[in-house]
Amino acid sequence: MPPVGGPRPDPATYDRLASWLEAELDRASAVHPNPGRTATFHRLNRAEYQNAVRDLLALDVDVTALLPGDDIDEQGFDNMAEVLTVSPALFERYLAAARRTADSVRIAEAARARARAAASAQTKASTKTPPPRTPSRTKTSPPTKRPPDR
């Protein structure tokens, strides 16, 4: 940005700067390529899985009983892609955990639906006005005349 009050560069200058910057970035990446993450698959560790279920489904699930403990790397981290491999047995455990979580979601949603229905019924009952009184259809005898009081 030019200083306040200073003139802005013309479009040709912007184009030359963008071309130069692009060429420099391309040259730097050719000299020092960075392939990024080389692990093909990165699973969630137990804490990440529990947090994802809580955040996405609004359901607190204790995954310590559902999933085995996570391996840790030499620095003590349990969320490094290199140690978060997926064996067939571990994959089965994650599928079982997903099934139990889905069952819990269905049960929790059914309970919420019942609670909403009960609250709605209670609200309707408390705000319901009584029906207007209608005259009785039974025949009544005419009032009897009482003698005047003296």
Token pair, residue 137, equals 């259809």
User: What mean pLDDT do residues 30-53 have?
Assistant: 79
pLDDT > 90? residue 43: no
Give the contacts of 110 (CB within 8 A, at least 6 positions apart).
none
Q: What is the pLDDT of residue 142?
A: 60
Give the separation between CA 55 and CA 69, rounded to whole angstroms: 21
Give the separation between CA 98 and CA 53, rounded to whole angstroms: 9
Provide the percentage of residues in the chain whose pLDDT is more than 70.
69
User: Domain residue spans in the chain?
Assistant: 46-121
DSSP the chain: -PPTTPPPPPHHHHHHHHHHHHHHHHHHHHHS-------S-----HHHHHHHHHHHH-----TTTTSPPPP--TTS-S--TTT----HHHHHHHHHHHHHHHHHHHHHHHHHHHHHHHHHHHHHHHHPPPPPP----S--PPPPPPPPP-
Render pLDDT for 110-122 as a digit per residue (tens, 0 to 9): 888 899 888 888 8
pLDDT band at 35 (very low <50, low <70, confident <90, very high): confident
User: What mean pLDDT do residues 72-97 have?
Assistant: 74
Q: What is the pLDDT of residue 68?
A: 75
**Which comes out higher in pLDDT, residue 16 or 90?**
16
Give the separation between CA 4 and CA 52, rounded to whole angstroms: 47
Give the separation between CA 131 and CA 135, rounded to whole angstroms: 12
Q: What is the pLDDT of residue 46?
A: 82
